[in-house]
Each structure stands twice: as structure tokens, then as C-alpha cells.
Amino acid sequence: MITTPTMPRKLLFIVNPNAGKKISEHLIDTIRKEFPQNVYYQIVIWKDKNHFKEVLDILHSQNYTDVVAVGGDGTVNQVAKSIVGTDIALGIVPAGSGNGLARSLGLSMKVEEVIKQIYNGKTVTIDSGTVNTIPFFCTSGIGFDAHIGNLFATSAKRGLQSYIKITFTQLFKYRAKNYTLKFNGEVLKRKAFLITVANAGQYGNDFYIAPQANMQDGKFHIVILKPFNPFSVFGLFIKIIRNKAHLSKHIETYTANTLSITRDTKDTIHFDGEPAIADAEVIYNCKPQSLKVIVGNTFKAI
């Protein structure tokens, strides 16, 4: 169910100036120009990780009703996990490379338009997930996409072009690995190129790895991409951008609200595209109806 605000609102815009394509003063000036003056708001520049605690102190001590993350998926994850389980609504001004959660919520990629959507304040409550207790909101995974996320995070160049270049450079170098999955009382042993645990359907940039996923149904969609012939890459890519990845013969999809994945050794994981090194066993839990979010008109609530 989509709701609209009935009480006076107080918004805190949290800006990460180093996100995605680097946020300029022009973007901040646009927020100040476009956001209506009849609603109270404040803009805080998040300088670094140490400063973020001060930002959170402002958010939680001054009765803000909404917090707006201005940045990429990493910024959104950082802000969102600080308000999980509260009544504070998350808004997003997308300024990253993928903008997966913003797109999934029907929010515009244009600053002027998304400011209107944030002002309108239509909200729903969505699920979130944890991977080894780390919160995520869009997708998490292991294998190739985590490997790419790690390389992208350490790349000197940001943006979609850099991400695509890294992906295609590694596509024919990376090798599938062995995994054991436990969920719904089943045990699956698979050799997989990647395994994605999806709360939302896409990675970002409208690349839908799990087009049937729904952020309000209390369960993950588990996508296993099996080893494939290099000549199959183009067909697989077409299915992903056409929201038909689940129809590929190279993909298996399951649903569960908890699962564990065991691999041979410690390795990379990602949560909303952010990489980390995790133990051989990776544990996922779905947290139903745990995050209040601002959505666009195209979001279909259940």
C-alpha cells in the first residue's frame, strides 16, 4: 500500500560528495532551488566515514521524518541501514553508477523530477536483507558480480563505462566455483559463475538479474548462473536487459527467506554492489517490512 504524508515533515539531505560521478555544487544548488520552501529541510555534506557518525547523531536527535541519500548505491546502503526498523522514510537523489534501489523504487534519474517525487512523499514499506549480518536492500551475491564489485571499488575511474570495461575484461578470465546452498530444508551443490540473492530485481542500470523479485513479499529470489559457453554471453545479456533472465537455460531461480551458501574458502561478497571479504560460509536472512521508502508513481505496491 502506498501512503502519503499527513503530518508536518522534516527532511535531512545527506550528500556524499565523492559518490559515483562526483557530486558537484551544481547538484546541491539544484536541490536548494527546486525543493519547495514550505517544508523544512537541511543539507549535510558527509565528509568521510568518521564524520558520518556526527551526521547520524543529527538525524536521530532532531526528529527528522525523512532522510534523503544523495549519492550512489554505497551511499544509499550506508544511509538506509541506519534507519532500518524506524519510522524515518528513505528518499534517494541518485548520483551513482548503477542506482539500483532508486530505479527499483520508480524514482527518476533526473534531479528536478526526483525532487518533486521526494516532496510528494509517497511511501511504502519494503523488505531488507542481511548477509553475514550486513544489511542490503537491492541485491547481494558471491562469485563474478562480487569479483567485479571489488575491482570496481578499487578502480581509479568510476561511472558506467568503467564498470562495463572491467566486466568485459574479466568475463572470459573468471572461472566458475563450487558452492553448497542450504534453504527450505534442501541442500544443493552447484558449480556457479555467480549466485545473486535478490530483494529487488536488478543490480542497477535496469539490468534485471531477478525480474520476478518483489521487495514486499518477505522472501529472496536466489539466482544461480551456471557455467556457460562464451558464445552464449550475448543471448544472456539480451535476456537480462529485457527482464527475461529467469527464462535463460543458464539460470536457476529459487525463493527463500533464509539461506546459507558455503564455498571452499574465504572470498569476496557484495552487498548493494559494495564489496567485502567474508568467511567460507555466507548466511542470508530476509527482514520483512523493515524499511520505509519514498517511491515514484510507477512503483507497484502489494
Of 165 and 114, more confident: 114
Q: What pLDDT band is residue 19 in, cutting at 50, 70 and 90?
A: low
Q: Decide yes or no: CATH 2.60.200.40 for domain 134-287.
A: yes
pLDDT for residue 54: 92
pLDDT for residue 21: 54
- Whose grid coordinates read 499527513? 6
The mean of the pLDDT values for the chain is 92
pLDDT for residue 230: 77
Q: What mean pLDDT comes out for the span 19-48?
A: 84
Q: What mean pLDDT comes out for the span 175-200?
A: 97
pLDDT for residue 51: 86
Give the ranges where the chain is alpha helix by DSSP (H).
25-34, 49-61, 73-80, 100-104, 111-120, 144-153, 160-171, 233-241
pLDDT for residue 22: 59
Domain boundaries, the chain: 10-127, 134-287
Least confident piece of the model among 199-203, 205-209, 265-269, 285-289: 205-209
- Whose grid coordinates read 556457479? 192
Least confident piece of the model among 77-91, 169-183, 275-289: 169-183
Least confident piece of the model among 44-58, 129-143, 254-268: 44-58
Sequence-distant (6+) residues with CB within 8 A of 264 are 177, 178, 280
Sequence-distant (6+) residues with CB within 8 A of 194 are 141, 142, 143, 144, 145, 146, 223, 225
Rg (alpha carbons) of the chain, rounded to whole number: 19
For residue 178, give Cα distances in angstroms to 67, 87, 96, 258. Answer: 41, 41, 32, 20
Indicate if the pLDDT at residue 172 is higher than 70.
yes
Structure confidence by residue, pLDDT tens digits, 269-294: 999 989 999 999 999 999 999 999 99
Q: What mean pLDDT comes out for the span 188-203?
A: 97
194-198 and 220-225 strand pairing: antiparallel
Q: What percent of the chain has pLDDT over 90?
A: 72
- Which segments of the chain are extended strands (E)? 10-15, 40-45, 66-71, 89-94, 123-131, 134-136, 139-143, 177-183, 186-192, 194-198, 220-225, 251-256, 258-262, 267-271, 274-278, 281-294
Sequence-distant (6+) residues with CB within 8 A of 89 are 65, 66, 67, 121, 123, 292, 293, 294
pLDDT for residue 301: 82
How big is the CA angle at 166 (ends 139 and 79), to the nearest 5 degrees?
35
**What sign does the CA torsion over 261, 266, 267, 271 have?**
positive
Q: Of the spans 12-16, 30-34, 218-222, 243-247, which averages the highest pLDDT?
A: 218-222
Structure confidence by residue, pLDDT tens digits, 117-132: 999 999 999 999 999 9
Indicate if the pLDDT at residue 83 is higher than 90.
yes
Structure confidence by residue, pLDDT tens digits, 226-273: 998 877 888 988 999 899 999 999 999 999 999 999 999 999 999 998
Residues 10-127, CATH architecture: 3-Layer(aba) Sandwich (3.40)
pLDDT for residue 20: 54
Burial classification of residue 92, based on how many CB atoms lie within 10 Å of its CB (0-12 exposed, 13-18 middle, 19 or more buried): buried
Torsion region of 61: left, alpha or beta (phi above 0 gives left; psi -120 to 50 gives alpha): alpha
Q: Rounded to whole angstroms, how far apart are CA atoms 94 and 255?
A: 29
Indicate if the pLDDT at residue 110 is higher than 70.
yes
**What sign does the CA torsion over 195, 197, 202, 204 have?**
negative
Contact, 261 vs 134, CB < 8 A?
no
First and final CA of the chain: distance in angstroms? Answer: 6
Q: Rounded to whole angstroms, how far apart are CA atoms 142 and 225?
A: 11
Q: What percent of the chain has pLDDT over 70?
A: 96
pLDDT for residue 229: 85
Indicate if the pLDDT at residue 60 is higher than 60.
yes
